[in-house]
Amino acid sequence: MADWVLHVDLDQFIAAVEVLRDPSLRGRPVVVGGNGDPSERAVVATASYEARAFGVRSGMPLRTAFKKLPDAVFLPADHALYSSASADVMAVLRSFPVVVEVLGWDEAFVGATVDDPFALARSLQAAVLSATGLHCSVGIGDNRLRAKLATDLGKPAGVFQLVRANWVEVMGHRPTSALWGIGAKTARKLAELGLSTVTDLANADPDVLAARFGPRMGPYYRAVALGAGDTVVSATPWVVKSRSREKTFQHDLASPDDLRREVVALAHQVALDVVAEERPAVRVGVKVRFAPFFTQVRSMKLPAPTSSADTLADAALTVLARFDHTRPVRLLGVRAEFSDDDVEPTTSPSTYE
């Protein structure tokens, strides 16, 4: 028998849960986000495959989604429902003789020592579907990176294996943005160096990458292109690293006084979460989304750990002052980060992005 890493990813999870609640939605384009009102300033949390066929994607403004697909069913997000559905799925996975590492509502790594990882993958899929009515895709890999990437190659409701032997064949010709951890901005920077594909990046000069991206990230990007990754799957409960609140304004804010007032209000809301967490914050971050849709995030370390609402608000205001306020603001967010040293396990995913 061999050690394998499997990545289980629920297909269109939030939309699928909504369909389970209301079967009449099956086969229809469903868009979930905000309060379900496409005229409000909010973004798409998820879209069903039927909606994605028309170009609707997660993170897209609801107004844009409505322009693309006015006949879609727009629904408000129901975090409690999704959390409950996720817990049911994870319980099914844990019923197998495997190690389960939860990554969020809709995905988990599974570590297993088996002869036939495909048989295990299909058994996991069948068990999840039978118990919850939800479909999932499973990626099989010889490390976490390859398992994670394999899942997308098997969607929807499929199984795909990505290992060292087929890495170059499957991934070599793909753009660098296909790699886990390389987003569109980094991919553009790599393209400026003449590195457009995974193979290009794998063969890149480490010194050139280090000079462009730094001594840590440069070599890391090349290692990812080579398919390198951790093989350890841990059952240690996922621990929340921060608490955050954010607010999208129906009308852009431009007044400094309005911005400060909103940041203070958000910081006080976050302080309530920090107190409930029973872990003091060590860092405060502020997110500002300028009109039309340009987002920046900045943060600062606190002089000492704290749960004080006033202290968190003062820090948030200090961070807010570091932004260049030359554009109107459509969204503000405040985040309090915890130390890794004192943790209380939780299964609640952070909503701060």
Q: Is 107 a catalytic residue?
A: yes
Q: How far apart are CA 17 and CA 314, in angstroms?
A: 40
* Given the residues 107, 262, 277, 337, the one annotated as active site: 107
Q: DSSP per residue over 328-352, as a string?
A: -EEEEEEEEEEPSSS-----PPP--
* Residue 262 neighbours by CB under 8 Å, 6+ apart: 247, 249, 253, 332
Is residue 243 within 8 A of residue 350, CB to CB? The reply is yes
Tokens representing 262? 């909103």
Alpha helices in the chain (DSSP H): 13-21, 49-52, 62-68, 79-94, 117-132, 144-154, 167-171, 184-192, 198-202, 206-213, 217-225, 256-277, 309-320
Tokens representing 11? 């297909």
Q: How far apart are CA 340 and CA 351, in angstroms?
A: 19
Give the closest residue to 331 by CA, choosing from 272, 245, 205, 234. 245
- Active site residue ranges: 107
